[in-house]
Amino acid sequence: MHIIEGYLPLAHAVGWTAVSAPVVVYGGWRVARLARRQPEIKPLLAACGAFAFVLSALKIPSVTGSCSHPTGTGLGAILFGPSTMTLLGTIVLVFQALLLAHGGISTLGANVFSMAIVGPTVAWAVFQGARGVRLPLAAAVFAAAMLGDLATYLTTSAQLAFAFPDPAGGFAASFAKFASVFAITQLPLAVIEGLVTVVVVNMLRTYSAGELGRLRILAGEPVR
């Protein structure tokens, strides 16, 4: 769901950057504070960033000017909260734009807003809500990762529709077109991301139980 370099009108690119920048700065402050207070979880932070980088680099062409792919941001949002994942997601997007020509610098603000702000926020909110009603941990993780992915794709569809409204139907018609084309590839990818995230959380509970215990987020039954 990365929008390619130069695809958005200049005013839209600047606007999304202005909206995203303060959230990224706040995320940087949260990560720095977390790293100072609990330096032992730095490897886990890095692992969440690497997970997002690898998954979101697996792109499938979807719509002119964009693509479909998993996001990988749900894992970090579940473990550390959405603001922390905003910084990690931004770093991922910068590296992909510079090294893989996936996304772009001019569209970085828009891509950060969809994948590193909206997606993690939805994933975190879904996870908190699911655990609040005592859903099994596996179900909560799956729902959070899947819906965070879908929220990112819907946000990208809205951004593209806002930039390129349909001549006849305006924003609504354009959004429906972008979202429907994305859905062909994004819906199965979202399900796959949910399943992969459950597997990864299960592995972390086995091999990083100490770090997870300090986070006090994944307390409860094993993921099965």
The reply to whether 25 falls in a domain is yes
The reply to whether 55 falls in a domain is yes
The reply to whether 99 falls in a domain is yes
How far are the Cα atoms of 137, 144, 164, 180, 219 from residue 79, in angstroms, in the given order? 13, 11, 36, 31, 11
Q: Residue 116 is part of which domain span?
A: 10-215
* Overall average pLDDT of the 145-168 stretch: 94
Decide which of 27 and 180 is more confident: 27
| pLDDT score recorded for residue 15 | 97
Which residues make beta-bridge pairs with 170? 166
Considering only the C-alpha atoms of the chain, give the largest distance between any 2 of them, rounded to a whole number of Å. 57
- Whole-model pTM: value is 0.89
Q: What is the mean pLDDT of the chain?
A: 88
Decide which of 14 and 60 is more confident: 14
Nearest residue to 60 (alpha-carbon basis) of 216, 162, 190, 195: 190
Note the pLDDT tens digit of each residue in 73-108. 999 999 999 999 999 999 999 998 998 888 889 999
Residues 72/194, Cβ–Cβ less than 8 Å? no
**Distance (Å, whole) CA 8 – CA 104:** 10
How far are the Cα atoms of 47, 97, 172 from residue 169, in angstroms, in the given order? 44, 33, 6
Residues 112/89, Cβ–Cβ less than 8 Å? yes
- Residue 61 is classified by DSSP as E
**Distance (Å, whole) CA 54 – CA 71:** 9
The reply to whether 222 falls in a domain is no
The first and second tokens of residue 98, run together, are 């510079």
Decide which of 1 and 134 is more confident: 134
| pLDDT score recorded for residue 62 | 61
Note the pLDDT tens digit of each residue in 160-198. 999 999 999 999 999 998 888 877 778 888 999 999 999
Geometric angle at alpha carbon 20, from 70 and 50, rounded to 5°: 35
| pLDDT score recorded for residue 191 | 93
| pLDDT score recorded for residue 212 | 72
Which residues make beta-bridge pairs with 166? 170
How far are the Cα atoms of 9, 55, 141, 142, 201 from residue 197, in angstroms, in the given order? 35, 10, 7, 7, 6
How far are the Cα atoms of 28, 43, 63, 176 from residue 85, in angstroms, in the given order? 9, 14, 26, 29
The reply to whether 49 falls in a domain is yes
| pLDDT score recorded for residue 214 | 67
Decide which of 97 and 217 is more confident: 97
The reply to whether 1 falls in a domain is no
Q: Considering its fold, how many domains does the chain have in total?
A: 1
Pairing state of beta strands 60-61 and 67-68?
Answer: antiparallel
The reply to whether 169 falls in a domain is yes
| pLDDT score recorded for residue 65 | 54
| pLDDT score recorded for residue 4 | 86
* Percent of the chain residues past pLDDT 90, beyond the cut: 61
User: In CATH, what number is assigned to the domain containing residue 68?
Assistant: 1.10.1760.20
The reply to whether 194 falls in a domain is yes
Asked if the model's pLDDT at residue 64 lies above 70, the reply is no
